[in-house]
């Protein structure tokens, strides 16, 4: 009888862990708009890439502080060996966009309206070296919108 209880408890734990993993974004998928490798002092600065924001997944499933609707796979991936300059990841769009980044440390960073107007921006004052997976969301709905991903080290960004 005791072994059945243990088996049910183990099954419940596996189900709970699997359900939590289903909500996580798949940073191991290939990014929709590609990977860029930039080194400290890169030029031109900012690096600019055309993307479409949005997707069908509510970013709050990652963290309640995240907003917008994002895709399953990252929109872009940045490989970055950090130096002494800050790293600024931002979005420019006529739509209300959001930003979700999974950093080299595995932490999730989110922003809505931290840049110009309704555009998000994340500033890493002392960035870590490694892989940054980037999702660009659309606030309030899942419709795809034209957007521009900007990566900079310039403090005026």
Q: Residue-wise over 31-48: b if at least 16 C-beta within 10 A, else e? A: bbbeebebeeebeebbee
- With tokens 């890439």, the residue in question is 49
Q: Cβ contacts of residue 155 below 8 Å, gap of 6+?
A: 86
List, as one string, the DSSP characters of 86-109.
Answer: -EEEEEE-SS-EEEEEE-TTS-EE
Stated as kind and residue range, the H or E segment containing 22 is helix 2-23
Q: What pLDDT, on the 0 to 100 scale, is given for residue 1?
A: 45
Please give the pLDDT value at position 24. 53
Could you read off the pLDDT of 19-77 as tens digits, one per residue? 333 345 677 789 999 999 999 999 999 999 999 999 999 999 998 999 999 999 999 99
Question: How much of the chain exceeds pLDDT 70, in percent?
Answer: 82
Measured distance CA(90)–CA(153) in Å, rounded: 11
Q: What pLDDT shows up at residue 14?
A: 34
The domain spans of the chain are 27-152
End-to-end Cα spacing for the chain: 64
Let me know if domain 27-152 sits in CATH 1.20.1530.
no
User: What is the model's pTM?
Assistant: 0.82
């Amino acid at each position: 009888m005791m072994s059945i209880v243990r088996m049910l408890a183990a099954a419940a734990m596996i189900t709970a862990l699997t359900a939590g993993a289903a909500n996580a974004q798949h940073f191991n998928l290939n990014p929709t708009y590609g990977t860029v490798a930039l080194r400290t002092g890169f030029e031109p600065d900012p690096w600019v890439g055309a993307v479409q924001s949005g997707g069908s997944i509510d970013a709050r499933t990652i963290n309640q502080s995240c907003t917008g609707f994002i895709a399953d796979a990252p929109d872009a991936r940045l490989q970055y060996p950090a130096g002494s300059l800050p790293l600024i990841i931002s979005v420019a769009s006529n739509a209300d966009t959001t930003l979700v980044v999974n950093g080299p440390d595995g932490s999730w960073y989110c922003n809505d309206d931290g840049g110009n107007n309704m555009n998000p921006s994340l500033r890493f004052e002392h960035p870590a070296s490694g892989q940054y997976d980037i999702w660009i969301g659309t606030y309030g709905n899942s419709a795809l919108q034209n957007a521009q991903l900007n990566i900079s080290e310039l403090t005026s960004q």
